[in-house]
Chains A and B, each alone.
Chain A
């Protein structure tokens, strides 16, 4: 009992320390480090929000780009009129509403059908908005007022912290349990009293909320956006890979995955511009071969090896 509380204190302290260090980054770190950290934060946010819903339920969503894009477009439309925090809130709400609608329509689809529907959603939005702008508005693309590097960094940091707290609370509550049960056997969950549909839709929308917020904040870095940029399918795929790479189940899996993925990619791109895909690909294949349960699995195994404890962990 005592041991677990002291372990918990330690974890808490560690998280706090990292947080303080991160929060002060713009004060001591070179500007580019802050920029890099910002994109790491962005991927962390998307990966964690993705894992919030898709991790336990097993509904692999490829709609992240749609929700992220909704945030971006909000920023583009309201960026000049409203202050950044407000823009972020509106972007988040826009995504939330979009996800409610989409969720109500799609969440009865299962497996790959759901995956492809969500992917289709991104493409549909992209092509529809493109067509709308081209034929109805007669122009495409918008200019977003840029914000300072530190501003975007803090915005992303705050979003991530709120997100992590939210996920933590949800996971620890009864609803966390219910989400896992949906992933295991939806029918049985329903017969045990879980209002499966509503729960799925709400959590789906909550995860979209944070993606929208991230999109609204990040748009200020790009100055110019058009539908192709806003609804980039890479934004749907990368977080999934990062989460699988890190380990989907524990909260810190997608966080670690996003950090390593983003840093590794940037490292390779700048060192080996012509071969980085090759190297990155090989690393991915080898990693998955030797870490079948993600980085987190590896860490847990190492940890078990070190601490020598036999722990009946899932």
Chain B
């Protein structure tokens, strides 16, 4: 009996982490884009969708291993993000009278992007649900059973977030990125190339979204209209974790996954309700998120 309990708990916890890992990867990128580049990227989910569909096409058309697709679709989506910032958002930043106005305007522009990217994806891939199976077999861990592909996904999610965090925390560029978030003008006075740094941020955000999309396509079915849902999850996660904090986003993702898993285990009908209850309660208790300052 005791061991049955243990297995159940293990099962619930690991299932939660598996889900949370995916949430985390999708959120980290948005955290960067909003926390630093000040773009509330409503089209974030569209970048995830792009990553997912590129992986899908590469795998089903050319049989390229989804994990190898990372190396292709990451840089691809990065380039899209970087160029978008250099052209569109830099101009917007210059022409908006106040930072507040820039936030509003960039959100509007992102809505435009959302429409454009989604429509283009529908034209290319069609509107219907798609999926493929990869590593779809069970793995037994301490008596509990998990899907191999999800375990791999979690591993990758952890690794990606870790690398990213170390990069931001320890490098000169990472510091510049954080400074730029707080006061772009003054960061310029320190010698930071603001436009380039912000574009890099936005690009990195897109990169993370692309990788997240690639991971999602392994475990979930995909369709061109899936973006907004993931954007919303990502937003919840970054807010839950504390804005602009990469470890926060990570923890936020895992917390959300765990909560979902526990509640699904008890009363599945309330699992989504629980997400929002936890989210809102946490905000009321700690209005700046779990790891926020």
Contact = CB atoms under 8 A, between A and B. Distances in A.
B100 A58 contact: yes
Contacts of B96: 292-293
A51 to B, nearest CB: 12
A189 to B, nearest CB: 16
A252 interface: no
Contact of A281 (B92, B115, B232, B276): B115
A275 B96 CA distance: 29
B155 interface: no
Nearest to B243: A112
B135 interface: no
Contacts of B20: none
18 contacts: A105-B284, A108-B287, A109-B283, A113-B243, A113-B289, A120-B279, A121-B276, A131-B270, A248-B104, A277-B119, A278-B120, A281-B115, A281-B116, A284-B111, A284-B112, A289-B95, A292-B92, A292-B105
Contacts of A112: 34, 40, 235, 239, 243
B116 A278 contact: yes
A79 to B, nearest CB: 27
A13 B288 CA distance: 49
Contact of B101 (A128, A131, A274, A292): A292
Given A124-B273, A285-B116, A288-B108, A113 B92 contact: no
Given A281-B113, A282-B112, A117 B107 contact: no
Given A123-B276, A278-B115, A285 B109 contact: yes
Contact of B112 (A120, A248, A274, A285): A285
Given A121-B280, A285-B116, A289-B92, A116 B111 contact: no
A228 B56 CA distance: 30
Interface in B261-282: 269-270, 272-273, 275-277, 279-280
Nearest to B279: A120
Contact of B287 (A109, A131, A135, A276): A109
Interface in A39-66: 58
B79 to A, nearest CB: 18
B81 to A, nearest CB: 15
A281 B114 CA distance: 7
B63 interface: no
Given A112-B239, A113-B287, A135-B269, A120 B109 contact: no
Interface in B185-241: 232, 235-236, 239
Given A121-B280, A244-B104, A289-B92, A281 B112 contact: yes
A124 to B, nearest CB: 4
A294 to B, nearest CB: 9
A109 B239 CA distance: 11
A293 to B, nearest CB: 6
Contacts of A240: 107
Contact of B273 (A58, A111, A128, A233): A128
B88 to A, nearest CB: 7
Contacts of B2: none
B115 A280 contact: yes
Interface of A: 58, 105-106, 108-113, 116-117, 119-121, 123-124, 127-128, 131, 134-135, 233, 237, 240-241, 244-245, 248, 274-278, 280-285, 288-289, 292-293
Nearest to A242: B108
B108 A124 contact: no
Scoring A124, A128, A237 by chain B CB atoms within 10 A of each residue's CB, the highest score goes to A124
Nearest to B94: A292
Contacts of A113: 239, 243, 283, 287-289
A227 to B, nearest CB: 12
Closest 9 CB pairs of A and B: A281-B115, A284-B112, A281-B116, A124-B276, A277-B119, A285-B112, A278-B119, A292-B95, A277-B115
Contacts of B118: 277
Contacts of B117: 281
B178 to A, nearest CB: 17
A288 B277 contact: no
A116 B109 contact: no
Contact of B113 (A127, A233, A285): A285
A275 B123 CA distance: 9
Contact of B277 (A106, A111, A116, A124): A124
B232 A119 contact: yes
Given A116-B235, A289-B92, A292-B92, A131 B269 contact: yes
B28 to A, nearest CB: 16
B277 to A, nearest CB: 7
B154 to A, nearest CB: 25
Scoring A135, A248, A275, A278 by chain B CB atoms within 10 A of each residue's CB, the highest score goes to A278
Contacts of B239: 112-113, 116
B158 to A, nearest CB: 25
